[in-house]
Amino acid sequence: MDIVRLIALLLHPLLASSLVAWIWWQYSWKKKSHELKGEERAEHLEMHEQRGEKLLWAAIIVALVAVAGRAVAGWRTHGDFTAEILPTNIHGITGPIGIVILWQLSRMGKRAKIAREQGDSFSNLKLKHGRMADIVVALVFIHAFLGFLYIFAVL
């Protein structure tokens, strides 16, 4: 296999592995939030919100790296950037769907933050955000497992 094609295709799983770890770390806020009180909790909540925004952008970048990797692979194999850009498996199809779900999770978090700052009741929004986070984490691990299996098909 061509080394450029190999690097282009393996860059996504390497970055995605870091992203999965980051998502799990971000998700651990659910447990940690019950242990913290007062000012310390407020500081950690602020960090959770900021990191959530960065995580969304990191996920978008990781997805774009996957598309770029497939474009490079198509160019190196077929002489055409568009030859392999469209996803051909469940892993590739669920990636963009996951980005949309993660974006929606981020929006829910922002709405909860705005409600909290305005003094409104935000417990329902917080509950929905937490439940959607549960779903996102499950889907991330399923997506990662499918990607792991897909590596063998690519290589």
User: In whole angstroms, what is the distance from residue 90 CA to residue 85 CA?
Assistant: 14
Q: What is the pLDDT of residue 82?
A: 74
Q: What is the percent of the chain where pLDDT is above 90?
A: 51
Per-residue pLDDT averaged across 15-43, rounded? 92
CB proximity list for 68: less than 8 A, separation 6 or greater: 8
Q: What is the pLDDT of residue 1?
A: 57
Q: What is the pLDDT of residue 27?
A: 94
Contact 33, 45 (CB under 8 A): yes
pLDDT 10s digits, 52-108: 999 999 999 999 998 888 888 787 777 777 767 778 889 989 999 999 999 999 999
- Which parts of the chain fold into alpha helices (H)? 3-27, 29-35, 38-78, 90-117, 123-154
pLDDT 10s digits, 98-151: 999 999 999 999 998 898 888 888 888 888 999 999 999 999 999 999 999 988
Q: What is the pLDDT of residue 135?
A: 93
Buried/exposed 50-88: b ≥16 CB within 10 Å, e otherwise: eebeebbebbeebbebbbebbbbbbbbeeeeeeebeeee
**Domain coordinates in residue numbering, the chain:** 3-154
Contact 103, 123 (CB under 8 A): no
